[in-house]
Structure 1
Amino acid sequence: MKYKGLASIAFCFAAACGKPAEAPQAAQPKQEITAPAGEYRLDKSHASLVFQIDHLGFSMYTASFSDFGATLEFNPEDPESMSVSASIKVPSLTIPAPPEGFHEELMGPDWFNARAHPGMSFRSTNVTLTGDRIATVEGELKMLGATAPVTMEAEFIGGYAGYPPYDPNARIGFSAHGTLRRSDFGFTHGLPPEGTTMGVGDLVSFEINAEFTGPPAPAPAEE
């Protein structure tokens, strides 16, 4: 895998410079799951949706959406029964240091066509547990009026039943990543001619980090 290759290069570089390789850090203990089953909604103050796409073969252009929501049916006793739905407001696209008028161009008919399609939506269709707190989430993404399957790998980071009075509701956290091809949605403007990189790539990689809040925490026992 590419990460193993990068690790090997880093090790060889350290050896060539006469520096000992650093000892790996101990893994952080995983939180006990005390969050109850139920409906959880995205905490927008603790969530990010970032994507990357190849630009001319020179860099992976990075951007994000700042306005999105999600609802999760959570069940720690039966993870494969869980489901998630999400929506993204297209005009909330956030790009680094955009040239004047660039955001408006991206919202135009050649690109995201936000006037006709101001939102994207996702709903899961299947969850398969593949490891300790890790699952493959299959679903359908709707973009530009077209719907196509999208798969991501999600990791459950942790959760608790609440921490009154500071956090009066249950809270859970997830991290997820995956890829999609924009051409599956008819989003073909700017694709490089075959055999070249002179354009904006087809493959889009994305990463989501999110916290959700759920049922109210149990009232503290009276002394």
Structure 2
Amino acid sequence: MKTILPVVALLALAACSPKPVAEKAPPAAAPVAAKPPPAKIPGGAYTLDKSHATLIFRLSHLGFSNYTAAFADFDAKLNLDPANPGAATLEVTIDPRSLTLPHPPAGFVEELTGPQWLNAAQYPAITFKSTKVEVTGADTAKVTGDFTLHGVTKPVVLDVVYNGGYAGHPMDPHARIGFSAKGSFKRSDFGIAYGVPAPGTTMGVSDAVDVVIETEFSGPPLVAAPVAAQ
């Protein structure tokens, strides 16, 4: 009897113990939506939408900051065949007199557009004309072009990202495409060496100039869908 009582007690305790809750299966992972295919855009001539375009440049100032300025007046023409992007051509014209500076001291704009720097009176245009487009990815390319600054022409490479586009919209009945681009060059290569720091120092304004561009282009008109025959 003494042997049976502990066994009965254990069975009773087991019967009173809460039953283990079956583990729920983890929820099925939501299906990953496939990336939508790139929008189809027409080939042809595209012009710069100046209200959605910026061109800024940066130079190191004494090694303390990257002084940032912009050109307010520039234009660009792009010819593009989406089926053959490597054959695209680009021409850009910049008015150096449109130099825009953050809170410039009196006379500073005139100094930078004067003989020691841009010399805009003698060289009234800065230009870039593409000579090669190398596609580097699904939406990236390197665009090499003849860059003319201060009367000197040398090759400069822009790293370009295609941000997307469409064939048109009822509120915007033309094709539209957008790009971001970056590049750099040495201003001394173009005859503007004033203020370049002595070797081993940062006392001055850097020789290297970094350029950052954001653009949208407007292209061929939206083609209306064909009317179904009655």
Is TM more than 0.5 here?
A: yes
TM-score range relative to shorter protein: 0.7 to 0.9
| Equivalent residue for 1:56, pick from 58, 62, 65 | 62
- Does 2:165 match 1:159? yes
Q: Deviations over 1:138-159 (max 9, x none)?
A: 1110011100110011011111
Task: Name the residue aligned to 1:119.
Answer: 125
| Pair 1:140 & 2:146 matched | yes
Contact 1:160 1:170 in 2 (8 A): yes
Rounded to whole Å, the distance in 1 between the matches of 2:126 and 2:37 is 33
Where in structure 2 are the equivalents of 1:61-210 lying within 5 Å?
61-164=67-170, 166-210=171-215
Counting aligned pairs with the same residue, the percent is 49
Larger gyration radius, structure 1 or structure 2: 2
Aligned to 1:42: 48
Number of equivalenced pairs: 194
Conserved? CA contact 1:30–1:158, under 8 Å? no
**Cα offset, 1:219, TM superposition:** 2.3
Q: Which runs of 4+ in 1 moved over 3 A?
A: 220-223
Q: Separation in 2 of the partners of 1:137 and 1:32?
A: 21
8 Å contact from structure 1 (residues 31, 159) kept in 2: no
Structure 1 or 2: more strand by fraction: 1
Report the secondary structure of 1:80's partner residue: helix
Q: Following TM superposition, by how much is the alpha carbon of 1:193 offset from its aligned partner in structure 2, in angstroms?
A: 1.4
Q: Output the CA distance in 2 between the equivalents of 1:162 and 1:73.
A: 17
Deviation, 1:116, is: 0.5
Partner residue of 1:33 out of 32, 39, 43 = 39
TM-score w.r.t. the length of structure 2 is 0.81
Residues in 1 aligned to 2:227 and 2:214: alpha-carbon distance in whole angstroms: 37
The residue number in structure 2 matching 1:16 is: none
Q: Give the superposed CA RMSD.
A: 1.3
Residues 37, 112 of structure 1: alpha-carbon distance in 2 compared, 3 angstrom cutoff? same
In the alignment, structure 2 segments of 5+ residues that lack a partner are 1-34
Whether contact under 8 Å (1:31, 1:158) holds in the other structure is no
Distance 1:132 1:169 in 2: 23
Taking a change above 3 Å as real, the CA distance of residues 30 and 193 of structure 1, as seen in their structure-2 partners, is: farther
Deviations 1:82-134 (A, max 9, x none): 11010000011111010111111111111111110111000011011111110
CA distance in structure 1 between the aligned counterparts of 2:160 and 2:39, rounded to whole angstroms: 16
Classify the secondary structure of the residue corresponding to 2:48: strand
Q: How many angstroms does 1:220 deviate by?
A: 4.5
